[in-house]
Amino acid sequence: MELGTSFEIKKHFLQGHAIFWPPTIGIDGTSYVVTGAPPGNSHLFAISPDGEVLWASKPQASLDDLDSFAIMNAPTIDAEGHLYVGDRDQLWAFRPDGEVKWVVDLKKYGVDWGFMTVVLSRQAYVGGVTTDGKVLFFWSHNGELAMPPLELPGGEGPPPEDSPPEFLWKDLMDPALIPF
């Protein structure tokens, strides 16, 4: 079998929206992707197998909306097709049609920076470890705390020798949300 030597883009999705993780694909073939576009844009999109945007989260007007730190999470999907994604200080649950199911304010639990990855458990818990070492799990059906918070032991790590290079974060998310 010979490989082609000439390729062209058939369709470009979400022009101007930085993407860090590949999309998560549901059992019906719908792709869910989070982006780090500036405020005023949506940060979660559902894209059909044919390449049409089915729905998008409400555009970010304030940090109370799904913010661009969501780019650090690949959406997690449960057996019913509900999606879970974290942003800087919230955990969001969306129904398969894009309607918000519930939102947890992680600041209530002393969290400054949210989950890097949201996980689901067999017990129907959703949550994980926050970037500041707190382990939090909530019931996936209603967003209520499923068990007492746990703080991982440890302390401040050694200071970084250098700041991450600017190109690592440039245009990836809202500069106000970069944690350095």
pLDDT of residue 22: 78
Residues present in the chain in total: 180
Cβ partners under 8 Å of residue 43, min gap 6: 34, 35, 36, 37, 57, 60, 66, 67, 68, 70, 71, 87
Q: Are 170 and 32 in contact (CB under 8 A)?
A: no
pLDDT of residue 68: 85
Q: Give the type of residue at 148.
A: P
- Structure confidence by residue, pLDDT tens digits, 16-40: 666 666 788 999 999 999 988 888 8
Name the most confidently modeled range: 42-56, 117-131, 135-149. Answer: 135-149
pTM of the model: 0.81
Which of 78, 56, 137, 82 shows the shortest CA–CA distance to 104?
A: 137
